[in-house]
Amino acid sequence: MTERIFNFSAGPATLPLSVLEEAQQEFLNYKGSGMSVIEMSHRSKEYEAINAGAEAVIKELLGLGDDYRVLFVQGGASSQFAMIPMNFLGEGQIADYILTGAWAEKAQKEATKFGQTHIAATTKEGNYARIPQLDEIKLSEKPAYVHITSNNTIFGTQWKQFPDYGDIPLIADMSSDILSKPFDASKFALIYAGAQKNLGPSGVTVVIIRKDLIEQGNKNIPTMLRYDTHSKNDSLYNTPPSFSVYMVGLVAQWIKKQGGLTAIAKHNEEKAALIYDTIDNSGGYYTGHAEKDSRSLMNLTFRLPNEDLEKAFNSEATKAGLSGLKGHRSVGGMRASIYNAMPREGCQALADFMKEFQKKNG
Ligand code: PMP
């Protein structure tokens, strides 16, 4: 294979070609430093600028001011499942979780190791095909925080409207839809995301956190698991995943060049519509897993009439240069992950392939 293909993998996922080319150009000699970013001391001026620049552009895209920090930590979004309750779930307190999929379940389960949790809503019945209505959510009396998963990578559902509980800290796992649309980030106390879907390569987790919350974190936990350690040291307490942070900065700059979150959201809506319209106009040949008003613009899940056809679809699609479409086993069928960096042409190619496949096999 000499040409790049359309990669619909859920993550690590496709990145903007222009960003890959930029990184390639700078790879051997970063801005005249005579060395690659991966060889560079994290205490150098060049790296400090990369680190500070990545924080600044993410804050700018989200419209956040001085009361927030963007931290770059390791351990994946999965480590945040533990770090959040370790820091913010105090003795005798209860943390509320809204269960909308397997990752939300994991986050909640991890929190039970550190304290008490309350399930404020769940859509497990019906295999997580929808996001709960806001009036279905029943909070505990005085939650330490409320945790949601903004986009459910496996099931293909996404929150369209976020809850607002005033002073109760709202925390979101945005691993699979961060920086994909505009929203009021100042309503969140903490947002976290593994970078490997919408932001860059794996190896770094982005934590966007309100400064007053950082101060409230538990001080009697390991140094590396305290948000204030990373905040006080500008994400440079220990050796950071420097190349990943550099790539996140480039991807965020790319989003800015596309016109920011409003422009990228419009693009994402158009891309998803190409595939959802194909599903909806297939006369029932393709069926979406998610209920229509909960459909994700990032991970599109659908089934074919039977598993044999699904296998054939996957293998023929792969041959046609459309890779990574096999769905997660808990949903079955297909999943097209079309994060920010998936070009419109990729979605058009998939929609065309779906129509052709139906014609041949329908
Ligand atoms: N949360 C969500 C919504 C995810 O999609 C994933 C990864 N697929 C995770 C958490 C886990 O992320 P990580 O592999 O970075 O720990």
Judge whether 243 lies within some domain: yes
Res 2: pLDDT: 66
Q: In the structure, what pLDDT confidence band is assigned to residue 7 with cuts at 50, 70 and 90?
A: very high
Q: Look up tokens 């619909």; give the residue.
A: 8
Instruction: With beta carbons less than 8 A apart as the criterion, state whether 176 and 298 touch.
Output: yes
Provide the pairing of β-strand 170-173 with 190-194: parallel
Nearest-angstrom CA–CA distance, 98 and 107 = 10
Query: What's the average model confidence in pLDDT over 58-70?
Result: 98
Regarding whether 225 and 275 lie in a shared domain, the answer is no
- Residue type at 328? H
Regarding whether 139 and 209 lie in a shared domain, the answer is yes
Of 218, 239, 257, the residue that ends a domain is 257
Please name the residue whose Cα sits nearest to atom 10 of ligand 1: 77
- Residue type at 131? I
Instruction: With beta carbons less than 8 A apart as the criterion, state whether 342 and 180 touch.
Output: no
Judge whether 137 lies within some domain: yes
77 lines ligand 1 (CB under 6 A): yes
Judge whether 88 lies within some domain: yes
Regarding whether 119 and 59 lie in a shared domain, the answer is yes
Judge whether 2 lies within some domain: no
Of 257, 278, 313, the residue that ends a domain is 257
Integer CA distances (angstroms), 40 to 22, 24, 187, 240, 242, in order: 18, 16, 37, 11, 9
Res 1: pLDDT: 60
Specify the CATH number for the domain of residue 264: 3.90.1150.10
Res 6: pLDDT: 98
Nearest-angstrom CA–CA distance, 44 and 314 = 47
Beta strands, E only, the chain: 6-7, 68-73, 94-99, 116-122, 146-149, 151-152, 157-158, 170-173, 190-194, 205-210, 287-288, 299-303, 322-323, 334-337
Judge whether 209 lies within some domain: yes
Judge whether 1 lies within some domain: no
Nearest-angstrom CA–CA distance, 111 and 200 = 27
Axis crossing angle, helix 17-26 with helix 242-257, rounded to the nearest 10? 130
Instruction: With beta carbons less than 8 A apart as the criterion, state whether 36 and 353 touch.
Output: no
Range of the domain at 307: 260-361
Judge whether 5 lies within some domain: no
Regarding whether 271 and 230 lie in a shared domain, the answer is no
Of 257, 285, 319, the residue that ends a domain is 257
Q: In the structure, what pLDDT confidence band is assigned to residue 307 with cuts at 50, 70 and 90?
A: very high
Regarding whether 236 and 272 lie in a shared domain, the answer is no
319 is catalytic: no
Q: Give 224-279 pLDDT, tens digit per residue.
A: 999 999 999 999 999 999 999 999 999 999 999 999 999 999 999 999 999 999 99
Q: Give 96-109 pLDDT, tens digit per residue.
A: 999 999 999 999 99
Q: How many domains does the chain have?
A: 2
Res 32: pLDDT: 97
ipTM strictly over 0.90? yes
Known binding residue 315? Answer is no
Regarding whether 287 and 184 lie in a shared domain, the answer is no
Distance 261 CA to ligand 1 centre (A): 22
132 lines ligand 1 (CB under 6 A): no
211 is catalytic: no
Distance 78 CA to ligand 1 centre (A): 6
Regarding whether 97 and 118 lie in a shared domain, the answer is yes
23 Cα distance to chain centroid: 22
Which residues have CB under 8 Å from 226's CB, separation 6+? 87, 217, 218, 219
Regarding whether 118 and 93 lie in a shared domain, the answer is yes
Judge whether 8 lies within some domain: no
Q: Give 70-100 pLDDT, tens digit per residue.
A: 999 999 999 999 999 999 999 999 999 999 9
Query: What's the average model confidence in pLDDT over 5-18?
Result: 98
Supply the pTM of this predicted model.
0.98
Q: Give 120-134 pLDDT, tens digit per residue.
A: 999 999 999 999 999
Nearest-angstrom CA–CA distance, 336 and 351 = 11
Query: What's the average model confidence in pLDDT over 24-47?
Result: 98
Residue 166 in this model has a pLDDT that exceeds 80 = yes
